[in-house]
Amino acid sequence: MVRGIFRMLTVLMVSAVCFQSIALASEAQLMAEINALKSKVTEIDQLKLRIVELEKKLEMQSCSITTQNTTVAEIKEQLIQYKPGGGITVPSCGIEITAGATFLLQGTPNANNAGDSEASRLDAAWSADIFIQKRFDDWGWAFMHLEPGQGNGAENELSLYSNVNRDQNDTGANVPVTELWYEHYLFDKQLVITAGKMDPANYIDQNQFAHDETTQFIGRIFRQNPAIEWPDDNSLGGRILFAPKTLNSVVLEGIYFDADNSWEQVFDKPFVGAQFTLKTDELFGLNGEEWDGNYRLYWWMNCLDHSKLVASGEPATDNTKNYNTGFGFSCDQLITETVGIFARFGWQKPEYLLASINPNAAQCETSWSGGMQMTGKYWKRPDDVAAFGIGQVFPSKQYKDAGVTDTGGAAEGHLELYYKCQLFKWLAITPDFQWIWNPHGVNHGYLGDPDTIFVYGVRGQLDF
């Protein structure tokens, strides 16, 4: 009996030891498996970090190799139109270089200012736009514009209030820096500050359908209002823009430029302006692709010294401490997704001219223009554009009374037609026709000179 009980206790003790050993072995295996899984998780986390690092390197390398992501026309559109809360679409990972070249062949059978007495002229010109830009996250934009060129087209052969080749840029093939500035965004891109060497025409009197001489109208009257006395070329300046998201149909901006472009005493003789823009598609909650509309009202003042025009025979005034000022209106409106219309009007003081220039220089008091453009969607060429524009330039009565002898003081009229044929994504060919009546204010009833000028041309635009 005692022996049986002892044997049973022995068996139980051995079983307990075995179970404890098994339990210890199972716990060790579990810990080993847990540690192995932890090691794999750590390796996976390290692989994820490595993948992210390699993706960033690939993105940077891709941006440094790919030098063009936007076209010249797209960059110019960004410059002239700012949407509330918008900004820029330049890649954030590196420097982007975009370039385009414009070639123009332009002729006229009636060159009223041909230096060699030839009534018929056929001239050529070329220009290039090279943009170097860098975006700093979503708060900054650095921008450089290089613009070499040669030739003037038909410009030098014609005497007009508003000439026929806005792309004229004869630099002798030298490469000038046309623009160089920095733009900063504040308060979720509702406030924009820009400063540097800038083009003031990019900040007032813009127009979606008549603001790019490389892809739209070539004539100057349809590029910007002749009744604005701009600073002397692109100059040192600044712009501040306010586009509140709570009122996303309104954009307010002001500009300040060195009017004589001397880069000396830059606050003495400024060119200043202000513009109010109303965006009708945002105001009425319309589809922007079909009803995008911009209505701009602006004011400007040129503070350079101006002399007062006096009638012929009256004594000249010695007072040159006069400012010139004016106002204008510019609008562009889509009426379908393929058809858009535009209009401009401008006025400036009629009695002042720059004291430093020839008093016989043309003085435009008012100017108006308008027109329409249509894309080729209906004839299955959606990238093509057909457009026409018409306008007039009115010299002031004071200018006529000042005794200028080479003009009759009539209103100079302009009509321009073009068709942009997009042959390839990178190449467009544009036949262009311009008709000018009463050139430089001359008509049949005055001096007996021909009263119309025809300018024909073809433009090639290459993006690369």
pLDDT in tens, 145-161: 999 999 999 988 888 88
Q: Is the dihedral of CA 329, 330, 336, 337 positive or negative?
A: negative
Specify whether 303 is located in the same domain as 168. Answer: yes
Q: Are residues 75 and 30 in the same domain?
A: no
Note whether 30 and 98 are same-domain residues.
no
Bigger pLDDT: 65 vs 27? 27
Write the DSSP assignment of 351-374 as a string of letters. TEEETTS-TTS--EEEEEEEEEEE
Cβ–Cβ under 8 Å, residues 251 and 258: no
133 shares a domain with 23: no
Highest mean pLDDT among 91-105, 213-227, 447-461: 213-227
Q: Do 49 and 109 belong to one domain?
A: no
> What confidence category does residue 62 fall into, taking pLDDT thresholds of 50, 70 and 90?
low
Q: 90 and 48 in one domain?
A: no
In a domain, 1, yes or no: no
Confidence of residue 370 (pLDDT cuts 50, 70, 90): very high
Residue 235 has pLDDT above 50, yes or no: yes
2 in any annotated domain: no
Q: What digits encode the pLDDT tens for the residues 123-138?
A: 999 999 999 999 888 8
Domain assignment present for 6: no
pLDDT of residue 74: 84
> Per-residue confidence at 38, pLDDT binned at 50, 70, 90?
confident
Q: Decide which of 30, 65, 100 is a domain's last residue.
A: 65
For residue 20, CA distances in Å to 16, 26, 109, 432 come to: 6, 10, 112, 98
Bridge partners of residue 390, in order along the sequence: 370, 415
Are 449 and 313 part of one and the same domain? yes
Q: Examine residue 257 and state whether it is found in any structural domain, yes or no.
A: yes
In a domain, 4, yes or no: no
pLDDT at 61: 60
Which residue segment(s) compose the domain that 60 sits in?
18-65
174 in the same domain as 36: no
Q: CATH no. for residue 364? A: 2.40.160.180
Q: In the prediction, which pLDDT does 404 show?
A: 52
> In sequence order, what E strands does 243-379 have?
250-258, 270-279, 293-308, 322-334, 339-348, 352-354, 364-376
d(CA 368, CA 347): 9
Number of domains making up the chain: 2
User: Looking at the domain assignment, is residue 223 inside a domain?
Assistant: yes
- pTM to 2 decimal places: 0.81
Asked if residues 353 and 309 have their Cβ atoms less than 8 Å apart, the reply is: yes
Q: Tell me, yes or no, whether 45 and 151 share the same domain.
A: no
Summarize the confidence of residues 236-255 as an average pLDDT. 93
The verdict on 38 and 127 lying in the same domain is no
Residue keyed to tokens 């020839």: 358
Q: pLDDT-based confidence at 16, cuts 50/70/90? A: low
Q: How many residues does the chain have?
A: 464
pLDDT at site 351: 73
Contact 394, 380 (CB under 8 A): no
Say if 95 falls within a structural domain: yes
Closest CA to 129 of 93, 156, 167: 167
Is 73 among the domain residues? yes
Is residue 286 over pLDDT 70? yes
Task: Give CA 340 to chain center in angstroms.
Answer: 18
Is 177 found in the same domain as 51?
no
Average confidence score pLDDT of the chain: 83
pLDDT-based confidence at 372, cuts 50/70/90? very high
pLDDT class for 91, splitting at 50, 70, 90?
Answer: low
Among the ranges given (45-59, 111-125, 425-439, 441-455), the one the predictor scored with the smallest mean pLDDT: 441-455
Of 176-190, 239-253, 355-369, the one with minimum mean pLDDT is 355-369
Query: Which among 299, 407, 406, 303 is positioned nearest to 355, based on CA atoms?
Result: 303
DSSP readout, 13-46?
Answer: HHHHHHHHHHHHHHHHHHHHHHHHHHHHHHHHHH
234 and 381 belong to one structural domain: yes
